[in-house]
Structure 1
Amino acid sequence: MIIVTGGAGFIGSNIVKGLNDRGRDDILVVDNLTNMVKFKNIQGLKVMDYMDKMDFSEALKAGKFVHENVEVIFHEGACSDTMEYNGKYMMQNNFEYTKNLMHFAVDRKIQMIYASSASTYGSGTNGFREEPACEEALNVYAFSKLFFDNYARRYFGKTNSQLVGLRYFNVYGPQENHKGKMASMVFQMYNQWLAEKKVKLFDAYGDYGAGEQTRDFIYVKDVVKVNFFFWDHPEISGVFNCGTGHAHTFNTLAQGVLKHFGSGELEYVPFPEVLKGKYQSYTQADAKNLLAAGYDGGFTDVNEAVAEYCAILDKSGGYYTHGA
């Protein structure tokens, strides 16, 4: 059996689809469907069972999974809202829950690959390498992720099973509709064009010109490939960046969306006062450790990925369909 927490979410449901593509459907999806829209992410996928996150957590504590034959846990379940200010809730959800799951996996010698975040690099002024000198938390979400990474570091190389944390950079692609304001810029710009026949970006800010702020954008299909690389190499443990190692401007994404539609205007809006001093104008993963670990799956060209994603948005509203 394979467990995918957050399996009805964005990255989690893409992992489930990837497992289906590998011929696996012995999958337990764990999630919280309070946001009921997420059911659309898994209705076209093949899974063995579904379990509510709270029920799963209680069952785990009660030892109800002790005799289950679990091969690997892809732990994608977390509160990913960077604007959530309830620190107690965030630590319970992102730290305590992950810690309990880790100890279950370690005790049973189960591979565990979990979602960390590039937010652990804070402003990014110290670089984007997987080392304490580069790390800082600017909000409680980032703190919860960094706090667990540091907890996990105590166990790397000291257990008989794999433990890998993947620091996701700016992920975009199908199955993110439920994320609303936290969805990727490609999703936002696509829907902006539908509503207004234009795409809006921030004007110049700091040392960056209009729309020239940059991010390490990574297509969700490539995120799945990186997860599966580590699954296929259980001898590797550690925290690794999950980014392309190349930064692209928001203008690049906008031009890709406008090219898809064949028309439209690119408009620049004043940079919001509320974001000044709290905004990352540049992110770029240092992919050295990922490549040194042996990952050679490559990354989808950003223009190709934007075109493919827009086509999926056209066809199915951004969801995978049966056989897709």
Structure 2
Amino acid sequence: MLSASELDALAAWMDARGLPGGPVEDLAPIAGGTQNRMFSFRRGGRAYVLRSGPRHRRAGSNDALRREMRVLDALSGTAVPHPALIAACPEETVWPGAVFYLMEPVDGFNATVELPEPHASRPGLRHAMGLAMADALAALGAVDHEAVGLGDFGRPHGFLDRQVPRWLAELDSYRGSYPGPELPGVEAVAEWLGACVPRRWSPGILHGDFHLANVMFSRADATVAAIVDWEMSTIGDPLLDLGWLLATWPGTRGALGWQGLATAAGLAGEDEIIARYAARSERDLSAIDWYVVLACFKLGIILEGTHARAWAGKAPHETGRRLHTAAVGLFEQALDRIAAA
């Protein structure tokens, strides 16, 4: 929970910004898929969600949250479903060493945690949820990042060419902390990706970790209420987000152990998701297999990092084993897709 000193500092900071005053009420932690801290609370009759870094912050935790603040602010007024930013504290002085921000609560649910009614009993609604994710991605890919003030948010020039060496270096950095990596076909996948890099693409906002657990669905219908967890966002090739969705879609190798919708029947198929995106986007999808393989490669290496940290005693061993299994599945999926390409 938040300490008394953190609550006092938060209240004073909110007062200085003209937000409704009074005691912080109904403070409760919100469970999520990241290591950041999130809390819901009420003050002065208004509901808030607070997001800050983990109690024991890693290098870069604050910078990642600053990126989230900026992209959420930029998305205001666009067609992209996202949590509305209320106020941001990018300085580390209010809470010493930590940044945080306040956003509007989202009336929705995480479909990897629960599958409420009417979604649980209506196959057509479940089928439409995957298509709605494609709709949300197409809306994100259509945003002019320069027009919304994100012209300097990333380095789009050479973005695709940097991916393989960048993530091979990340994988190499794990060596020495555990007896690995033991991932199938790393060199073969890297070689294929390097040889087949798409040469024509248009930069845009990239969420960076777009999968079923990072969206909230409306409780009334199949629409996406909000895309959440923007800490890996940048300016790059938005088709990598579509590749990420397909690489992690329930039923593929490398499944992440989700429940809820991920175990339900009647989901939209990969071809349907691609066709839905294509119908709402002007982007060239002829190389979509390449983007899915890159997603498998990059996510597999990211997950393997938790396996390495578990060996070093910095993450739960069971989590490390589970994510290593998922990483192996992702590389197996990549090899299968290369063979079929």
TM category, shorter: under 0.3
| TM-score of the two chains, using structure 2 as the length reference | 0.26
| TM-score of the two chains, using structure 1 as the length reference | 0.27
The answer to which structure has the higher strand fraction is: 1
